[in-house]
Amino acid sequence: MPIFNLFGKKDAGNELTKGSPYKISSEWVPYKLYSGRRSSTMLIVKIKNATKEILLTSLILELPQQLGLDEVGMIKEREQRIGDVQPGEERELKFDVYGGIKTDPGEYTVTLTAMAHYRDYGHVINAVKKRTTLSVV
């Protein structure tokens, strides 16, 4: 928008919607859960700002029905508000994931969604999804 240039503001929205604003990596420690009993693992998520702009960032973690973010297994989704992430900066988040007696052996898909926001957490500019698998033996 050329009118923003008149007031000294630049239109960063076009750049942010073109490509992926984040690079997401994840790691499980330990890399598996045990079925038929209570066990837990830690998901370590690293989010890196891949743009040249400061991004207001949040991350949503979604689990399948057999896993939980608490020991009881009631919480299946969590939004973590990270705040402003500088260009090239990497943030690390840790989540405890629990299995219980209803967790069967197999592989479960966990979805991570990193979102870039405009002004506040109610307006989303762009989002990146990543899926990772957790083995249950």
Helices (H), the chain: 2-6, 13-18
Report the pLDDT value the prediction gives residue 116, as an integer from 0 to 100.
Answer: 95
Backbone angles phi, psi at 94, to 5 degrees: -125, 135
8: pLDDT strictly greater than 60: no
pLDDT band at 14 (very low <50, low <70, confident <90, very high): low
Domain spans in the chain, listed from the N-terminal domain onward: 2-136
Mean pLDDT across 30-50: 92
- Across the chain, mean pLDDT equals 87
The continuous run of DSSP H or E covering 44 comes out as: strand 39-49
Report the pLDDT value the prediction gives residue 100, as an integer from 0 to 100.
Answer: 86
Report the pLDDT value the prediction gives residue 40, as an integer from 0 to 100.
Answer: 93
Name which CATH class applies to 2-136.
mainly beta
Give the contacts of 97 (CB within 8 A, at least 6 positions apart).
33, 40, 41, 42, 43, 63, 67, 68, 69, 110, 134
Global model pTM greater than 0.85: no
On the CB side of 77, CA atoms within 13 Å amount to: 5
Q: Residue holding tokens 């330990």?
A: 30
User: Could you tell me the two tokens for 54?
Assistant: 């400061």
Which of 2-6, 7-11, 20-24, 98-102 ranks highest by mean pLDDT?
Answer: 20-24
Report the pLDDT value the prediction gives residue 16, as an integer from 0 to 100.
Answer: 54
pLDDT digits (tens, 9 = 90+) for 65-123: 999 999 988 999 999 999 999 999 999 999 999 998 888 999 999 999 999 999 898 99
Give the contacts of 100 (CB within 8 A, at least 6 positions apart).
37, 38, 66, 68, 72, 73
